Amino acid sequence: MRLDKFLKVSRLIKRRTVAKEVSEAGRIELNGREAKASSTVKVGDELTIQFGQRLMTVRIEKLMETTKKDEAAGMYTILKEESRKNETEW
């Protein structure tokens, strides 16, 4: 399954076009490497997504073509969530 479709179906990102924009900006890593929207994901892969100052790492548990809202969270497991604060000293 394509990365952008997985992000939309799993509801990590609400729209596929937004998922594409985020990946083109270099804010998504797939197994430690920068990922494109067209990258293929499979069960067991790890995604690191940067949402502004927040960094989230998830492991893909299930691939589904469509899903209901309450099933979407079962497609991944959150491994790590952290805030990236600006650590510049004045």
pLDDT tens, the chain, 90 aa long: 999 999 999 999 999 999 999 999 999 999 999 999 999 999 999 999 998 889 999 999 999 999 998 899 899 999 999 987 655 444
Q: At 81, is the secondary structure helix, strand, or coil?
A: strand
Strands 54-60 and 33-34: unpaired
- Helix residue ranges per DSSP H, the chain: 3-9, 16-24, 69-72
Q: What is the pLDDT of residue 45?
A: 97
- The domain limits of the chain are 3-83
Q: What's the whole-model pTM score? A: 0.86
Phi then psi dihedrals of residue 10, to 5 deg = -80, -10
What's the CATH number for 3-83?
3.10.290.10
What are the Cα distances from residue 69, in Å, to 5, 35, 60, 62, 90? 15, 25, 17, 14, 45
Q: What is the pLDDT of residue 86?
A: 59
Q: What is the pLDDT of residue 5?
A: 95
